[in-house]
Amino acid sequence: MNIIKSKHNCLIKIILSVLSCAFLLCSCSFRFNINDSDSKSENDLVVHYLDVGQGDSIFIELPSSETMLIDAGVSGLGEGIVNYINDCGYSKIDYLVATHPHADHIGSMAYVVENMHIGEIYMPKVSTTTRTYEKLLTAISDKGLKIKSAHSGMSIADESDFSIDVLGPVTIDEDSLNNCSVLLKITHKNNKFLFIGDAEKQELGTVNADLSADVLKVGHHGSRTSTTEDLLERVDPSIAVISLGKDNDYGHPHKSTINLLNKFNVATYRTDEDGTIIMSSDGNNIATLTGVKSIEREE
Q: Which stretch binds Zn ion (CB under 5 A): 60-68, 70-78, 198-206, 239-247?
A: 198-206
Residues contacting residue 279 through CB under 8 Å, at least 6 positions apart: 46, 47, 49, 193, 215, 239, 241, 286, 287, 288, 289
Least gap, CB of 105 to Zn ion (angstroms): 6
CA-CA distance, 11 to 228, in Å (whole number)?
39
**Does 200 sit near Zn ion (CB under 5 A)?**
no
Residue with Cβ nearer Zn ion (46 or 295): 295
Measured from the CB atom, is 35 or 178 closer to Zn ion?
178
Q: Rg of the chain over CA atoms, in angstroms?
A: 18
Interface with Zn ion (CB under 5 A), residue from 61, 173, 198, 200: 198
* Per rule CB under 5 A, count of chain residues that contact Zn ion: 2
268, 81 contact by CB (below 8 A): no
Kindly state whether residue 51 participates in binding Zn ion, applying the rule CB under 5 A.
Answer: no
Crossing angle of the two packed helices 23-33 and 78-87, in degrees rounded to 10: 50
Name which position in 104, 165, 200, 272 contacts Zn ion (CB under 5 A): 104
Determine if 71 is a binding residue for Zn ion (CB under 5 A).
no
* CB closer to Zn ion out of 198 and 282: 198
**Does residue number 214 form part of the binding site for Zn ion (CB under 5 A)?**
no
Q: Which is nearer to Zn ion, 94 or 198 (CB)?
A: 198
Query: Does the protein bind Zn ion through residue 165 (CB under 5 A)?
Result: no
If the CB atoms of residues 74 and 113 are measured against Zn ion, the closer one turns out to be 74
Nearer to Zn ion, 199 or 232 (CB): 199
Contact by Cβ (8 Å): 215, 237: yes
Following DSSP, what letter does each residue of 57-80 receive, concatenated? -EEEE-TTS-EEEE---STT-HHH
Q: What are the angstrom distances between the C-alpha of 68 and each of 10, 83, 120? A: 32, 15, 9
Provide the binding-site residues for Zn ion, judged by CB under 5 A. Answer: 104, 198
